[in-house]
């Protein structure tokens, strides 16, 4: 199956701005799904609200476009009732970690088998460029014209501490790596978190004078290193990419089935 | 041994938004934007079929169509 067979062509061209990194993530996700050979009918994509969450409209799976920050809660309901399906939950940085912060950490803790993709462009693009919990200290946004003083979350550390059993990071520049990581995340049994650093040339890029989409992607190349690289020791401000956590823990749906079995034993 | 050989660059002009990512990152400088800010293959003969343009296109607007060419090593 070609990647084009997974999209709803009638909704293209999509609404994302020229150079938006979200399209590159969608492209890589399609390649990952194609390489695994998943059938369209076996995939459920659940998204919340935001630029990133528009992705569910463009892909021809079972799709749910739900409420802001609550995609993981809806996805949990789908997975519990139909555990044989593959759940993909693309979220923006604000959607995942601000509005949906609580859902995010508790989904990590439960280790329910689904893949959360945090499409991190460090800004609320759809609503006009407000700063998000991932913008970080020293950045500028329409709501931080004199500089943002909020520290940002480290998605990888947050997900790891919350108990996710697969945690990884990549960028829109590293497309081959991103595809491989997304593939591994989808195949992983348990809760997978993949943070993909994405560019928003329209808001984050413009407010922070980062130039064009290509310039922002060049920055991802320059400012990130593979996990365990020596360069990171020399320059601690570099951001590491790769698979940080990959471990096996009891999966939630399987454990739930055991509870049902236990409760029904005497019936 | 088989090597990928270029058939053509399939460009969807309705979907291309002219962001220039494919042009910027093409290792062989094959692509350019035309006067309407749509991508076109200016130097297709230089294409090495790495497909990075296809993989990085946010708009799924470019595809590198290839065929396999058999190459026989000299003995």
Read off the CATH number of the domain in which A137 is found: 3.40.50.970
B41 falls within a domain:
yes
Contacts of A212 in chain B (CB under 8 A): 19-20, 24
Please tell me the predicted confidence (pLDDT) of residue B75: 53
ipTM value: 0.90
> What's the CA gap between A23 and A72, in Å, rounded?
21
Domain that holds residue B47: 2-70
B32 falls within a domain:
yes
Please tell me the predicted confidence (pLDDT) of residue A4: 87
- Tens digits of residue pLDDT in A79-119: 999 999 999 999 999 999 999 999 999 999 999 999 999 99
A112 CB within 8 Å of a chain B CB = no
- Tens digits of residue pLDDT in B19-69: 999 999 999 999 999 999 999 999 999 999 999 999 999 999 999 999 887
Averages of pLDDT over each 10 residues, chain A, 267 residues: 88 95 96 95 96 95 96 96 96 95 95 96 94 95 96 96 97 96 97 97 95 96 94 93 96 95 88
State the total domains in chain B: 1
B7 falls within a domain:
yes
pTM: 0.94
Top residue of B12, B58, B59 to mutate, by most chain A CBs within 10 Å, is B58
CA of residue A235 relative to chain centroid, distance: 26
Written as one string, the DSSP assignment of A227-263 is TT-HHHHH-TTSEEEEEEEE-----HHHHHHHHHHHH
B62: nearest Cα among B38, B43, B27, B29: B38
Decide: A116 and A191 in contact? Cβ < 8 Å: yes
* H/E stretch holding B6: strand B2-11
B37 falls within a domain:
yes
Interface touch A19/B24, C-beta < 8 Å? no
Joined together, the tokens standing for residue B53 give 């343009």
Which CATH number goes with the domain that contains B65?
A: 3.30.70.20
Please tell me the predicted confidence (pLDDT) of residue A58: 96
B75 falls within a domain:
no
């Amino acid at each position: 199956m070609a990647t084009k067979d997974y999209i709803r062509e009638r909704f293209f061209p999509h609404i994302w701005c020229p150079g938006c990194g979200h399209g590159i993530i969608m492209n890589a996700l399609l390649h990952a799904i194609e390489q695994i050979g998943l059938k369209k009918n076996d995939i459920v994509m659940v998204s919340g609200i935001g630029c990133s969450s528009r992705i569910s409209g463009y892909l021809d799976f079972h799709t749910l476009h739900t409420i802001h920050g609550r995609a993981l809660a809806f996805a949990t309901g789908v997975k519990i009732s139909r555990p044989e399906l593959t759940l993909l939950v693309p979220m923006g940085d604000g959607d995942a970690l601000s509005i949906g912060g609580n859902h995010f950490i508790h989904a990590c803790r439960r280790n329910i088998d689904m893949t959360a993709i945090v499409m991190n462009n460090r800004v609320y693009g759809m609503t006009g460029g407000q700063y998000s919990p991932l913008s970080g200290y020293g950045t500028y946004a329409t709501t931080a014209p004199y500089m943002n003083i909020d520290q940002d979350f480290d998605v990888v550390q947050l997900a790891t501490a919350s108990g996710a059993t697969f945690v990884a990071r990549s960028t829109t520049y590293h497309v081959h790596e991103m595809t491989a990581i997304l593939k591994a995340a989808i195949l992983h049994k348990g809760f997978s978190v993949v943070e993909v650093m994405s560019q928003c040339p329209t808001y984050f890029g413009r407010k922070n004078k980062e130039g064009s989409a290509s310039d922002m992607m060049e920055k991802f190349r320059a400012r990130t290193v593979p996990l365990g690289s020596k360069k990171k020791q020399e320059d601690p401000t570099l951001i590491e990419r790769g698979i940080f956590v990959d471990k096996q823990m009891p999966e939630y749906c399987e454990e739930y089935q055991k509870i049902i079995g236990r409760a029904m034993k005497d019936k | 041994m088989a090597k990928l050989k270029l058939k053509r660059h399939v460009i969807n002009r309705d979907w291309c938004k002219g962001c220039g990512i494919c042009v910027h990152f093409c290792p062989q400088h094959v692509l350019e934007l035309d006067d309407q800010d749509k991508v076109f293959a200016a130097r297709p003969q230089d294409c090495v079929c790495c497909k990075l343009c296809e993989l990085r296109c946010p708009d799924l607007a470019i595809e590198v169509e290839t065929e396999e060419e058999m190459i026989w090593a000299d003995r």
